[in-house]
Structure 1
């Protein structure tokens, strides 16, 4: 029996099983088996690579401060949206599947450069390779955030939002969720599965330890300590055990609202994580360099922060901010130093911070201080005496001398070649 047949068999059994206390353990085991089979199926279809390898036309180099993937069914306006956001030409037409590869563009907003990827339309069954779903989903896994584009006029009867959520859920992409606060620590010695929780676990039934043990044994884990610091479901526990789930912020854009009534627009606008707009009518979606609601919401979901730097005795540089990403490296002083130079991080002494994150201006802060948007930061390096007290000073000093000795040798060789030539 193939993987697809086994998946369908388990799904059918889960649909037939009534949900109550008596079947709680059985359903939990079935969910664990189903998640395991789906992971195996995705790996099999992607050629065994954990990331789901991209195909020809889908390998786009990572660029900019953040990456957003446009996902949606065919003919919902993704190509037109890419042009409105980035001024990039992507073929748009009245027929389906106009875009056949990944088309990149760069959105410039608030001093940042956001890479936007226009992906081919996907259809139901994309998670199992239908259409070019495998390649599209692989790119979605590499994005910092996902923008799902929906046709406002077709959404009510087709439930496209629900279908796309299910397709991404199937391949382990969790939308607008955070990783559950659960740790699973494997032990070498015996003792079985030990489960502890700081809060009640009603979703795991009257005997949580029993269902946790069943799920872990499904993945051949027989000795481990499990600690839950929040209320979790069976699906969340399975996600922690698998360890390959990706948690992405997702914004839903209902395009073409000029084709529906104002009552329907109001209903869609009230849905969670949603924005309504029209590329054609430029409603909530302006020109590439204009400020509009969609760009503002994307900035918010990407967790981007502008930091202005200054030198001692000089005014801050307000022309070119350093853009930090909460999703990538964080928005701390340490992230700022790492973003600018590894040498700056090594020689860091303290930072002076002006802005909303500071209790007073300026505030002297360490590497762990979290910065807010439009803060001004001055990095103060260690003095020579402080650097000499570092236990790695001799190694760093030798590396510095070697680097400059190499440069001097190269300069000498070039001078000799000019004299000969």
Structure 2
């Protein structure tokens, strides 16, 4: 979320409220509530720990309002609220996603305010005008997305370090094969790996081997022309 540092908290609060209204929850985990509708048997409501913000009668009334008359409920978190419980009922219309707040125009605010902004959770600051902090934004996005680079190598040819496959952290050789071509794993024989994930170089591995950032991978297949 790109924000104007000179507008302080107002712009962020407005955007968060609009997203909240359409069911998008930023930087939050789903409520720790188990809810299983049933066809009969009435309501069974259990609290793992006595909650601070709701009670059994409130839960009962919420369920009735949503016409859930037969169900099993287990509330595991003592801090859940009425809104949390409604979110569980409306889970098909709720999305829990991570958000990185990027404040631009830091050259237009005081140093004290800039220091406060930079220390907030899930926040990075920059100035396009002065070309400050832009690389920090790139690196933070890379880190938050948990991406790694894998370089491929053909037999007898040096790897091209100018072009990498981009995969998620903890990806396997099978994921690397899928990135190259979906059918590659069908003829897969083994892979040779150089890099941090290899116990020795090169290490001969199977599809389940987990690669590390900047590994070099050579795929050997049974393909015949």
Which TM-score band (shorter chain)? 0.7 to 0.9
Per-residue CA deviation, residues 47-88 of structure 1 (Å, 9 max, x unaligned), is: xxxxxxxxxxxxxxxxxxxxxxxxxxxxxxxxxxxxxxxxxx
More strand per residue: 1 or 2? 2
Q: State the aligned residue count.
A: 221
Match among 115, 128, 151 for residue 308 of structure 1: 151
Using the alignment, how far apart are the partners of 1:351 and 1:224 within structure 2?
50
In structure 2, stretches of 5+ residues that fail to align are: none
Match among 12, 20, 24 for residue 169 of structure 1: 20
Match among 155, 162, 173 for residue 319 of structure 1: 162
Using the alignment, how far apart are the partners of 2:171 and 2:16 within structure 1?
29
With over 3 angstroms needed to count, the CA separation of the structure-2 counterparts of 1:278 and 1:180, relative to structure 1, is same
Per-residue CA deviation, residues 334-391 of structure 1 (Å, 9 max, x unaligned), is: 4333222221233445554443345555263444x5433222334444699xxxxxxx
How far did 1:262 drift? 1.5
Using the alignment, how far apart are the partners of 1:229 and 1:345 within structure 2?
43
With the length of structure 1 as denominator, give the TM-score of the two structures: 0.44
- Correspondence for 1:364: 205
1:240 partnered with 2:106: no
How far did 1:296 drift? 1.1
Higher radius of gyration, 1 or 2: 1
Conserved? CA contact 2:33–2:76, under 8 Å: yes
How far did 1:215 drift? 3.6
Q: Structure 1 segments of 4 or more deviating over 6 A? A: 228-232
How far did 1:280 drift? 0.9
Q: CA RMSD in A?
A: 3.5
- Correspondence for 1:192: 42
1:276-355 equivalences in 2 (<5 Å):
276-285=125-134, 292-312=135-155, 314-325=157-168, 331-348=171-188, 351-355=191-195
1:376 partnered with 2:216: yes
Using the alignment, how far apart are the partners of 2:37 and 2:199 within structure 1?
43
Per-residue CA deviation, residues 303-327 of structure 1 (Å, 9 max, x unaligned), is: 322222234555434232111246x
With the length of structure 2 as denominator, give the TM-score of the two structures: 0.75
More helix per residue: 1 or 2? 1
Secondary structure at the aligned position of 1:336 is classed as helix
Using the alignment, how far apart are the partners of 2:211 and 2:79 within structure 1?
31
Q: Larger relative contact order (C-alpha < 8 A, sep ≥ 6)? A: 2
Conserved? CA contact 1:353–1:365, under 8 Å: no
